[in-house]
Structure 1
Amino acid sequence: MTTPDIAGTINGLFEGGLPIRLTAFDGSQAGAADSPYGIEVLNKRGLQYILTAPGDLGLARAYVSGDLELHGAHPGDPYPLLAQILERTDFSRPSIADIAGLVRTLGISSFNPPKPPPQEHLPAWRHKAEALRGNVAAVARWGRHSQERDAESIHHHYDVSNTFYEYVLGPSMTYTCAVFPTADATLEEAQENKYDLICRKLDLKPGQRLLDLGCGWGGMVRHAAKHYGVKALGVTLSREQATWAQEEIKRQGLDHLAEVRFSDYRDVPETGFDAVSSIGLTEHIGVSNYPAYFGFIRDRLKPQGRMLNHCITRDHNNVKGAAGAFIDRYVFPDGELIGSGTIVTAVENQGLEVQHHENFRVHYAKTLTGWNKNLVDNWDACVAEVGLPTAKVWGLYMAGSRLGFERNMIQLHHVLATRTVDGVSDYPLRHEFGA
């Protein structure tokens, strides 16, 4: 058997080789020796993760499990290291001949897949397999974007720890793209500005009723109630979010105007709202469910009511898809993204008149930069709260997402629409909400 060269083997899986240092537990080295950034594979299990799930998933598994270390970048913000990899390499899947050569070099046991780290969410096919073992009712209950499966997916990501989110998100407890009024505005100023812009786009006035779908910790609900005198109802599938939000509403003395309900949006019975806001929920509902979703919103609006949809999108409308294996397994299970044109089409096909459409892509990159900084600044406390593997997942995912927004691989769009009836929209001749 050929003497193994593990670093060289892994380096060969990437087109052109890695532009950073790569070292392995057998003492081998590869990549750019003079790079300030590096990856170190610590043991055989790390190698097995990489070989049995090539690409971002295998690297993430090895990293989260502690079998791979990053050098030159803080685990709370590995952005500079990831930027080097994204700019200069693409993963190259090995051919059958290459795999045979790897087996001869490293041994067949290197291709025995280890059990995924416990932070990993079960993939969709495993849910389906479990459901099919039961009856038809079980299949319906666990089908993609069923209420039970959506509830589990939301629980996986959002019910981590309210304290952890306080460290990462800051005082606003807002986990959606901020809108920066100036380049040097703080994250808190930008989140406040985002909520106020949405309130102005919806033309909220005292005494009106607002429904906020996927309300998180209730930031939009509180802002609308406090600053616009609106009676606001928010719904979230996260019990921890709902509990935190209700306590904060009472603490601020807003419980006569604001409510956050632990509920699936599909179970909201009330209608006749003056406005509906959806800030960061559309990513979770599935592209095939857009017609039903925007039909639901239309039916909750009174005539001439307004809807604002705030959603991460792709930079094209050619195909829907998950955000990638790592994001799907560790961050947003069952999440789907598509271009903003598909959202506009779905909104219009449900009888809503689109009035304004805006892209905040660069704002999300700045928002993620702020969240990574918060994670770094509070690293020890975050690790103590949720454990090192989960904290590493968050640093990796936020830094990677920042790169996606910076490079225009993903975007963030607002779509503003009205429930126009008999040609009457109550929309002004020109937009009046300002910047």
Structure 2
Amino acid sequence: MITLTKTIDKALVKAFLKNISDQTFTVVFWDKESYKFGEGESKFEIVIHNFPHKKELFANPSTALAEAYMAGDIELVGNLQDIVESIMRHKNSFLNESKLLTMLGKCRPVGKRTSERDIAHHYDIGNDFYALWLDPTMSYSCAYFKTGSDSLYEAQMNKIHHILKKLNLKEGQTLLDIGCGWGYLAIEAAKKYKVKVLGITLSKEQLKKVEERIKHEGLQNLVTVKLMDYRDLEKSGLKFDRVVSVGMAEHVGKANLPLYFKNVNAILRETGLFLLHNITDVLETEVDGFISKYIFPGGYIPSLREELYIAAELGFHTMDIESLRLHYMKTLMHWAERFEGNMDKIRTMFDNKFIRMWRLYLNACAAAFHYAKVDVHQILLVKGNNNQLPLTRQYMYDMPSNRFTPKP
């Protein structure tokens, strides 16, 4: 016998899911009853064992549904990336209800201790985990696919050399890598261009791996890495000819963006180049609830216009802007495939909730770069006027003929 409560629950589910996707799909309820939304063949199924409470659902549907998926209360049967994309494409779905950041109270500065905790939450999960599904360089940012047949490793090497080309490096110069990750860009810069590199990070796990790589390559005289907050750069007294920051500005927070650029400006020599590579949004909006709570606490995706505005206020000249949106979609698809391909090993490290959380994160992000408003941009800035740069952009695309193969 169907109880009144379950009848009401089903009505809530149907009302919520009515405008969730632009594709035909089927819902299978907890009592095995099924209901089809749309006409024709179903493209996917939503199997519901337990549905979020109405209060949680309408307070933050993204978080509520993600938590239900992580707990196994909801199963999504079909290609996960395609399912999320179908939700993004429907103009009335909850994923298209981005809230503009209009109140200063939502944009409070992030302190150093909070930044350290937030970085550790994501990046100190363990080097062994990341090594399973990243490429051999352990580059955890958008790759650069020159051809449709590029492997993930080739595309990440393309990205590294593309960035180094844009920086127009010369032997003997100094380079600062803010948020250096596992250090491969810094090592490649030293090996190919004979520049002196300092990499800074807040991740102890990353620091350990970079130090191992520096020693392995015998580059102690050219590459140094340290645990350092970007807010300490201005008072450090250091000066650099070039600065690069890949996938780090997203961790700064909206309120701290001007401070971030101020510190870069303080340590960059006149006529120096700054290459900023990060995820951007079209408008200044709140971060998705699931991502901010479980994946990147403290994160904020800047808009391209606010970064350019802040840079201009400090006297930076914008030399070049390149969108890599579809490159990031392909990168995330590679990561998701490698993640699933190493599932036996990952299951020995983490529980099912963690695995489902990361599966959702990787596939949802791939969907977002394919169909949502997010992008990823490489912005090349110069401090003051630099009249020594090539007149055309061709130098940025003359890829080096010798590729470095990582040592085992």
Q: Normalization by structure 1: what TM-score? A: 0.80
Q: How many aligned positions are there? A: 377
Call closer, same or farther: CA 1:249–1:433 in 2, change over 3 Å: same
Compute the displacement of 1:424 (Å). Answer: 4.7
Which residue is 2:406 aligned to? none
Which residue of the other structure, out of 200, 207, 220, is the alignment partner of 1:242? Answer: 207
Which residue is 2:405 aligned to? none
* Residues 26-425 of structure 1: pairs in structure 2 closer than 5 A: 26-32=31-37, 34-43=41-50, 51=57, 53-73=59-79, 78-88=80-90, 90-91=92-93, 144-268=109-233, 269-314=236-281, 316-317=282-283, 320-420=284-384, 423-425=385-387
Partners in 2 of 1:278 and 1:215 — Cα distance?
A: 7
Call closer, same or farther: CA 1:152–1:218 in 2, change over 3 Å: same
Call closer, same or farther: CA 1:28–1:17 in 2, change over 3 Å: farther
Which residue is 1:10 aligned to? 13
Identity rate, percent: 32
Partners in 2 of 1:366 and 1:230 — Cα distance?
A: 31
Partners in 2 of 1:89 and 1:12 — Cα distance?
A: 16
Contact 2:144 2:155 in 1 (8 A): yes
Compute the displacement of 1:249 (Å). Answer: 1.8
Contact 1:7 1:28 in 2 (8 A): no
Provide the secondary structure at the position in 1 that maps to 2:396. coil
Provide the secondary structure at the position in 2 that maps to 1:160. coil
Partners in 2 of 1:4 and 1:89 — Cα distance?
A: 29
Call closer, same or farther: CA 1:233–1:85 in 2, change over 3 Å: same
Provide the secondary structure at the position in 1 that maps to 2:35. strand
Compute the displacement of 1:85 (Å). Answer: 3.0
Contact 1:160 1:386 in 2 (8 A): no
Compute the displacement of 1:399 (Å). Answer: 1.1
Which residue is 2:388 aligned to? 426
Call closer, same or farther: CA 1:190–1:50 in 2, change over 3 Å: same
Compute the displacement of 1:361 (Å). Answer: 1.0
Contact 1:179 1:363 in 2 (8 A): yes
Contact 2:197 2:223 in 1 (8 A): yes
Partners in 2 of 1:302 and 1:338 — Cα distance?
A: 25
Call closer, same or farther: CA 1:51–1:407 in 2, change over 3 Å: closer
Partners in 2 of 1:300 and 1:4 — Cα distance?
A: 63
Partners in 2 of 1:300 and 1:185 — Cα distance?
A: 36
Compute the displacement of 1:54 (Å). Answer: 4.8
Partners in 2 of 1:303 and 1:88 — Cα distance?
A: 48
Call closer, same or farther: CA 1:154–1:425 in 2, change over 3 Å: farther
- Alpha-carbon RMSD across the aligned residues, in angstroms, is 2.4
Provide the secondary structure at the position in 2 that maps to 1:13. helix
Contact 1:272 1:301 in 2 (8 A): yes
Compute the displacement of 1:91 (Å). Answer: 3.6
Compute the displacement of 1:431 (Å). Answer: 2.9
Contact 1:212 1:232 in 2 (8 A): yes
Partners in 2 of 1:49 and 1:369 — Cα distance?
A: 34
Partners in 2 of 1:14 and 1:23 — Cα distance?
A: 12
Call closer, same or farther: CA 1:267–1:379 in 2, change over 3 Å: same
Compute the displacement of 1:160 (Å). Answer: 1.2
Call closer, same or farther: CA 1:224–1:305 in 2, change over 3 Å: same
Provide the secondary structure at the position in 2 that maps to 1:309. strand
Amino acid at match of 1:340: L
Partners in 2 of 1:361 and 1:425 — Cα distance?
A: 30
Residues 52-108 of structure 1: per-residue CA shift (max 9 Å, x gap): 6552211111111222222234xxxx2123233333473469xxxxxxxxxxxxxxx
Compute the displacement of 1:158 (Å). Answer: 1.0
Compute the displacement of 1:35 (Å). Answer: 2.3
Amino acid at match of 1:434: M
Amino acid at match of 1:62: A
Amino acid at match of 1:22: V
Call closer, same or farther: CA 1:267–1:54 in 2, change over 3 Å: closer
Contact 1:210 1:277 in 2 (8 A): yes
Contact 2:87 2:93 in 1 (8 A): no
Amino acid at match of 1:68: I
Partners in 1 of 2:356 and 2:59 — Cα distance?
A: 19
Contact 1:291 1:349 in 2 (8 A): no
Provide the secondary structure at the position in 2 that maps to 1:358. strand
Give the gaps of 5 or more residues in structure 2. 96-104, 398-408
Provide the secondary structure at the position in 2 that maps to 1:249. helix
Partners in 1 of 2:351 and 2:257 — Cα distance?
A: 36
Contact 1:49 1:61 in 2 (8 A): no
Call closer, same or farther: CA 1:247–1:49 in 2, change over 3 Å: farther
Call closer, same or farther: CA 1:365–1:287 in 2, change over 3 Å: same
Compute the displacement of 1:41 (Å). Answer: 2.1
Contact 2:19 2:93 in 1 (8 A): no
Call closer, same or farther: CA 1:200–1:54 in 2, change over 3 Å: closer
